[in-house]
Amino acid sequence: MTNETKYFDDTKPDLDTISAEMLSSFKDSLGKDWIKLRPNLEKQVQEVHESIRYIQILQERGELTEAAVHELLEYQQLNIKMLMLEYGGMKELAIETATNAAFKKVREAINRLVNFELL
């Protein structure tokens, strides 16, 4: 797997690549917990995928605000953290590390999408 996120036209991110990179980050960060969390994380990553699409739509309409982007991503990150907490046995630091690693590519994609550093 490459660490380079692909773009369709220099601004629109390849959402499938970002999703794959997120899942790879979770797999690398979670170790043995990956197996039990994988099905639910795949669903959560799909929701992140949809949030990026929505951010793209807001950008195209000229309706994008920094607050909206932060709210959408914080909501997605919180959902993923809650999922990890439900499975127990994971320390808060491990959850934070895994989530931050997975969302790094999301932040990079959104910053490129809006053509300035928003996140």
Cβ neighbourhood burial of 45 (10 Å; 0-12, 13-18, 19+) = buried
pTM summary value:
0.80
- Residue by residue, pLDDT tens for the chain (119 residues) are 344 444 445 567 788 999 999 999 999 998 888 998 999 999 999 999 999 999 889 888 999 888 888 898 899 999 999 998 888 767 888 898 899 999 998 988 888 888 777 66
Helix (H) or strand (E) holding 2: none
Q: Report the alpha-carbon distance of residue 108 to residue 98 in Å, rounded.
A: 17
**Alpha helices (runs of H) in 5-91, residue ranges in sequence order:** 15-30, 33-61, 66-86
